[in-house]
Amino acid sequence: MSEALLKDKFSRTIRDLRISVTDRCNFRCFYCIPDEDIVWKRKQELLTYEEIILVAKIGVGLGIEKLRLTGGEPLVRRDIEYLIERLARIPGVRDLALTTNAFGLKERAAGLREAGLNRITISCDSLNAETFKTITRRDGLGEVLDGIEAVVNAGFEPPKVNCVVIRGLNDHEIADFADFAQKTGVRMRFIEYMPLDNGHQWDRSLLVGGREILSKISERHSITPINRDSPSETALRYVFSNGAAGEIGIIAPVTMPFCGACSRLRLTADGNLRTCLFSMVDHNIKDRIRRGDDEAAIREFLIDTVLKKEEGHRINEADFIQPARTMSFIGG
């Protein structure tokens, strides 16, 4: 493990860099980017692959070990395999992952594996075609299920499958998703609904808390808690007590915050560092790169930015303000 050079003022070590490669997406999930007429960033506003590689290389030199590509939808950016191949070559990268909605993944899974990707996480908020279409505004459940199968066939470990649970919409499927994990061997991740929607219409009454999710699973399945891989891991993890395949994880940032162990830094597609999903401030690294700052200056900027990392997200505080940027712009 490399020396920890990225530490915030709360003594948290930054080991994970989430890289959004595009704000564009071919789905329109209402909790993320519901507007059909949304204005996307222009190509020249986005970081180039070479600029992303530069930031990643400097970050890894400061102790970052895990890189995750996100969006928007990362597979809509052209030649993403090239970026993966280059990032995989950086000495010190222990884990290179990608989060996708899996649309078109069936045809590309093998190529992603060949490029050097280690893991894939797939978003899927319903196993019912009509509910899926209601949430995503796209008829794509079949594509997603095909993508999950293709990931395993390409030689990846069974993927994590992320489900954002929303009361009155898909919360009745929680136990069904547990069945799905047992049947397919995937690692289900149930995520609490967070205030990151484009329309700023987040309603706490639609939130299904982590403990309630666990209760709904336990009505059908006996599950046993297991240890996290690291203190900074976001999910509370469980396996099926009967020894069946698959895993359950509950990510509850609203009702069971895990900010105290956060190890993440985010790089937006348009070249800003964000120290928290709910930051009100962007730290522009793109301008520094494009004005010609050398690697030493970029390195110091990364160190200084991490020192500004917030203690927590404040969702449950009376003065909480939802950030203007939505998940599609920030990256997961």
**pLDDT for 323 beyond 80:** no
In this prediction, residues 193-198 reach a mean pLDDT of 66
- The tokens describing 20, both together, are 């959004």
Q: Which residues pair with 192 in a beta bridge?
A: 165
In this prediction, residues 200-210 reach a mean pLDDT of 80
In this prediction, residues 287-299 reach a mean pLDDT of 98
Domain boundaries, the chain: 16-330
| Highest mean pLDDT pick, 26-40, 81-95, 191-205 | 81-95
pLDDT at residue 91, as a whole number: 97
Contact 38, 22 (CB under 8 A): no
**Residue 255's pLDDT band (boundaries 50, 70, 90)?**
confident
Pairing of strands 187-192, 95-100: unpaired
pLDDT at residue 314, as a whole number: 59
**pLDDT for 222 beyond 50:** yes
Contact 73, 24 (CB under 8 A): yes
Between 79-93, 242-256, 284-298, 314-328, the lowest mean confidence (pLDDT) is in 314-328
Q: HSE (CB half, 13 Å, CA atoms) of 17?
A: 30
**pLDDT for 1 beyond 50:** no
- The tokens describing 103, both together, are 């649309």
Phi, psi of 233 (to 5 degrees): -65, 140
pLDDT at residue 31, as a whole number: 80
The CATH number of 16-330, from 3.20.20.70, 3.40.50.300, 3.30.1650.10, 3.40.50.970, is 3.20.20.70
- The tokens describing 312, both together, are 């927590």
pLDDT in tens, 85-135: 999 999 999 999 999 999 999 999 999 999 999 999 999 999 999 999 999
Phi, psi of 199 (to 5 degrees): -90, 0
**pLDDT for 45 beyond 70:** yes
- The tokens describing 164, both together, are 């954002």
Identify which of 234, 214, 212 has the alpha carbon closest to the alpha carbon of residue 224: 214
In this prediction, residues 152-158 reach a mean pLDDT of 97
pLDDT at residue 328, as a whole number: 54
**328 to each of 41, 266, 280, 332, how far by Cα in Å?**
11, 12, 16, 8
